[in-house]
Amino acid sequence: MITNQGYIFLIFILNGILIGLLFDVFRILRKTFPTKDFITYIEDILFWIITGILVLYSVFRFNNGEIRLYMFVAILIGVISYMLLLSSHIIKINVHIINFIKKVVGKILNIIIKPFKSFFGFLSKVFIKPFKKLFFKMRLLFANISKKLYNTSKKNQKTAKN
């Protein structure tokens, strides 16, 4: 009986460590990718759902659904131990790894996208810019014509009144 409870106590210490690790996953994501408040709320809800599922699964799997106070003490010990001993190191290492990957992927994407930018820049110079100038000149021409028509119609209205 006592060995079984000791075994369950260790299982729930591991659950606490897993909960701390899961918490750090969300912290790492927030440090490496800027998120809006709405996304942060969704991440928090997701964290608590996953944590609840993990604890409930462990309670039913290892203790036949019986909830005991020492389980929550063990989870707390696991979380605190993880936070004090491993959390800062895991966060630093993973943030550096993710930032490095972001830089590499960014450079690769720039290399891939650069020919397309050049090609579309060429197409813009050849096809779009001449038409832009043509449409701009046509717009000015129509503006001048409409202005002259407006002025002559006003003159005609004045002469018709007299």
In this structure, the number of other CB atoms found within 10 A of the CB of residue 130 comes to: 10
- pLDDT at 160 > cutoff 70: no
Arithmetic mean of pLDDT, 120-141? 75
> DSSP strand E in the chain: where?
none
| Mean pLDDT, residues 126-142 | 76
pLDDT tens per residue, range 20-54 = 999 999 999 888 888 898 999 999 999 999 999 99
Distance CA 45, CA 141 (A): 61
Cβ within 8 Å of residue 80, ≥6 positions away: 16
Check residue 156 and give its pLDDT.
67
Q: What is the pLDDT of residues 60-119, one digit of tens each?
A: 999 888 989 999 999 999 999 999 999 999 999 999 999 999 999 989 998 888 888 887
Burial of 134 (0-12, 13-18, 19+ CB in 10 A): exposed
Q: Is the pLDDT of residue 1 over 70?
A: no
Q: What is the pLDDT of residue 116?
A: 81
Rounded Cα–Cα distance for residues 78 and 23 (Å):
13
Q: Place 122 in a pLDDT band, splitting at 50, 70 and 90.
A: confident
Q: What is the pLDDT of residue 125?
A: 73
Q: Are 55 and 75 in contact (CB under 8 A)?
A: yes
